[in-house]
Amino acid sequence: DAGITQSPRHKVTETGTPVTLRCHQTENHRYMYWYRQDPGHGLRLIHYSYGVKDTDKGEVSDGYSVSRSKTEDFLLTLESATSSQTSVYFCAISQGQLEGTEAFFGQGTRLTVV
Amino acid sequence: AQSVTQPDIHITVSEGASLELRCNYSYGATPYLFWYVQSPGQGLQLLLKYFSGDTLVQGIKGFEAEFKRSQSSFNLRKPSVHWSDAAEYFCAVGARGNTPLVFGKGTRLSVIA
C-alpha cells in the first residue's frame, strides 16, 4: 500500500468552527489531491497541489483552502464548517500526470458537521 | 474537460455469474482510463488502467477492461463473480499534463448467492 496517512480518521465538529484535515505521504510523490465523496456524486475534486506551495482549485473548492509547505504534507482547511461539508474526504497522491500514473488513495476522513 | 458516466447506479449479480460494468468517457484526445474499487469504509484501490497499446487490459482480482475508442467506453468485466467482489466501483479518466483524475459517480455491486 502507498504510504498515505490521513488524520483524523473521524471528526465531529460544530457549524461555524474551523477544521483542518491532514494528509501525510512517505512516497515523495509530486502531486497531492483532496476529494470529497458523497452519495450520488462519486468523488469530486476540492483542491490539488503540483508541488510545494503550488496549489489549484478543483470542482468544489468554495469554503475550502489548502496548504502545502512540505512535499509530504497537504492540509485541507474548512474555514467555517457548514452542514453541507459533512462528507468523507479522501487524500490521493500521484507521481504526475505526464507519466500517466495512477492516483493512490488514503483511507479517508469521515467529517460530520452538526 | 474530461467527464465520466457510469450509467448503472446499482447492479446485482449472482455468485458465479459474469459481470460487466459500463463506463463512458468524454475527452477530446487519447485518455488515460482507470477502474478503482472501494470496499465499505475503505479507500479506493486500483483495479486496472489503460494508457496506450493493447485495448484489452488485465487487472487484479481477475478483472479486465476493454477500451473502445469508437464508443468512448471502458467497460469492466469479470467472467465469474465472487461474493467478495461486492463493493463500489469507480471509473476515472485522466489526461496528459497537470490534470487530476475525474471520476464517475460509481456503480454499487451486490452479489447474491
Cβ–Cβ of A97/B98 closer than 8 Å? yes
Amino acid B38: pLDDT: 96
Write phi, then psi, for B21 (nearest 5 degrees). -110, 135
Would you tell me how many other CB atoms lie within 10 Å of the CB of residue A21? 20
Collect the ranges in chain A with pLDDT lower than 50: none
Q: By the CB < 8 Å criterion, does B60 face chain A?
A: no
Cβ–Cβ < 8 Å for B57, B49: yes
Q: Return the exposure string of A41-67: e unless at least 16 CB atoms fall within 10 Å of the residue's CB, then b.
A: ebbbbbbbbbeeeebeebebbeebbbe
Q: Does A103 sit within 8 Å of B101, measured CB to CB?
A: yes
C-alpha grid cell, residue A58:
478543483
- Minimum distance, in Å, between the CA of residue B87 and any CA atom of chain A: 14
Give the tens place of pLDDT for each residue, B61-75.
999 999 999 999 999
For the residues of A24-64, what is the DSSP string, one character each?
A: EESS--SEEEEEEEETTTEEEEEEEEEETTEEEE-TT-TTE
Q: Is the pLDDT of residue B17 over 60?
A: yes
Q: What is the mean pLDDT of residues B93-108?
A: 86
Q: Touching check for B43 and chain A: CB below 8 Å?
A: yes
Per-chain mean pLDDT for chain B: 93
Cis amide leading into A8 (omega within 30): yes
